[in-house]
Structure formats: C-alpha cells, structure tokens
C-alpha cells in the first residue's frame, strides 16, 4: 500500500521537535555534569582506569622480562639437583666402605699383635745384646667416669723385656730403636743392674713398652696408663754363683 503525505510540513515539524528535545537533554546533562561530586567521581574513575591500564602494561613487561630468568633458574635447579644426588650417592658409598674397613679392623686388628711386638723387638736388638724373655704385663682396666660413652676403652697391651748386654751403648741403642718403632710407645727403663755371668760382668736390664697400632692417637691411652711408673732400681753388682 502506498501512503501519500498530503501535509508536507508535518515531517519538518517532528524533525524540529526531536532536535529540540536532544538539545534539551544535552543542556540537562551539562547541568548534571556541573555537579562537583559527579565530576569528582568521573575523574576518579578515569584515573582508576588509567592506573589499571598502566599497571597491566608494566606487569606484562616485567613478566616478559622474568621469563628468561625463570628458565635459567629451573635449569640451574635441575643441574644442582643432579649434583646433590651424585654427592649423596658418593657419601653413601664412602660410609659403606668406612664401615667395612672398621669391621675388618675389629675382626683382624688383634690377630697379629704378638708377632708384630716380637718382630719389632727382635729388629731393635743391637749386636752384643741378647734377650732372656719378653712377657705380657697385665694392666688394670681404666675406671669409667663417664657412663654416657657407648665405647668402653680397653686397657693397653704392655710388655716387659728382659735382656743382657756387654756394651752399655748397646743398651741405650736398644732403647732408642724401640722408641723409633711404629708399633711400640712409652718405652721405659725399669732397671739396669750389673751381674756376673760366666766370669764376665754384663748389664741385666728390664724395659717396659706399650703396643700401639700405626696412626693411633698417642693420647688415646693417656688416661689409661698408670699414674706413675716404677722408679728404676739402682745399679748394683751381683755375683752369680757358679
């Protein structure tokens, strides 16, 4: 259906009316905006939007800059984790080997004490000097003062060496060579007497020594040793009956 407008001025009037209404709304909006509270709220909102935008941009830039550092830190973490794992493995192997060595020392440590003592004493005897006997001397067990210790100290092994010499220098040389032995310590002269054997004056001596293992702490038996050593007997001349 075709409609024909027979009043051409009507459309123009409606257009002018709508334009006037729009102008009235703009004027009202201008009057509303003139309110200071609304202006402050609008400014705060704009500032907040600007701050959020700037913060978002700055955070994105920082995050992009931290990504390479994060990857580097992860790579170092993996490398150090592997290094620590290998270190713990090697420490476990070391502890296992040390435990086996200690077990072997415990089982085999005292098997060859006397062969070593006799070998060292025989090696230290100089010419024109001979031994009559080498015997074990019992030592009282140390008094336990600290009951919290799990390991109970064993008394040291002491030996008494009796011998003869026709040369007093051989006697001093024997003392020096016994002190140089890695298996003997605390070599002490107990007595030295002049006796006559087969119509000849010889020096009869008694020495005392303590057995130690090579590398052992010299102060290990310091508290276990007797407080005072017996004084050396004065040199006397004894006649041996035929």
Q: What is the pLDDT of residue 144?
A: 59
Q: What is the pLDDT of residue 68?
A: 86
On the CB side of 81, how many CA atoms lie within 13 Å of its CA? 6
> pLDDT 10s per residue in the chain (242 long)?
566 666 655 554 455 556 566 666 656 555 555 666 777 777 788 888 888 888 888 888 888 888 888 888 888 998 898 889 999 999 999 999 999 888 887 776 667 788 888 999 999 999 989 999 998 887 665 565 665 655 555 678 889 999 999 888 888 899 999 999 888 888 988 988 888 888 888 989 999 999 987 765 544 444 444 444 444 443 333 334 33
Residue among 187, 215, 167 nearest 121 (CA)? 187
Strand order in the sheet with 158-165: 129-137, 158-165, 200-211, 184-197, 237-238
Contact 208, 233 (CB under 8 A): no
The pLDDT, as a whole number, for residue 199 is: 85
| pLDDT the model gives residue 231 | 43
- Global model pTM greater than 0.85: no
- pLDDT value of position 177: 92
- The sign of the dihedral angle between the CA atoms of 213, 219, 225, 226 is positive
pLDDT for 94 equals 93
* Domains and their CATH numbers in the chain: 13-108 (no CATH), 113-144+153-238 (3.30.1360.100)
Q: Is the dihedral of CA 122, 131, 141, 232 positive or negative?
A: negative
Query: What pLDDT, on a 0 to 100 scale, did the predictor assign at position 238?
Result: 39
């Amino acid at each position: 259906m075709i409609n024909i407008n027979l009043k051409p001025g009507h459309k123009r009037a409606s257009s002018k009316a709508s334009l006037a209404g729009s102008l009235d709304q703009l004027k009202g909006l201008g009057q509303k905006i003139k309110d200071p509270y609304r202006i402050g709220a609008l400014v705060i909102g704009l500032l907040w939007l600007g701050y959020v935008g700037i913060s978002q941009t700055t955070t994105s830039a920082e995050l992009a800059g931290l990504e390479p550092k994060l990857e580097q830190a992860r790579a170092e973490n993996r490398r150090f984790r592997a290094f620590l794992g290998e270190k713990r493995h090697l420490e476990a192997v070391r502890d296992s080997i040390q435990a086996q060595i200690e077990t072997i020392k415990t089982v085999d440590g005292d098997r060859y004490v006397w062969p070593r003592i006799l070998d060292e004493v025989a090696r230290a005897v100089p010419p024109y000097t001979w031994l009559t006997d080498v015997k074990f001397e019992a030592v009282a067990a140390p008094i336990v003062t600290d009951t919290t210790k799990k390991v109970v100290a064993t008394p040291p092994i002491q030996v008494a060496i009796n011998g003869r010499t026709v040369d007093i220098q051989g006697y001093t040389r024997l003392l020096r060579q016994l002190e140089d032995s890695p298996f003997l310590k605390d070599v002490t002269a107990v007595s030295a007497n002049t006796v006559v054997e087969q119509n000849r004056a010889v020096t009869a001596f008694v020495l005392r020594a303590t057995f130690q293992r090579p590398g052992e702490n010299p102060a290990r038996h310091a508290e276990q040793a007797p407080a005072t050593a017996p004084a050396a007997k004065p040199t006397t001349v004894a006649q041996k009956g035929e």
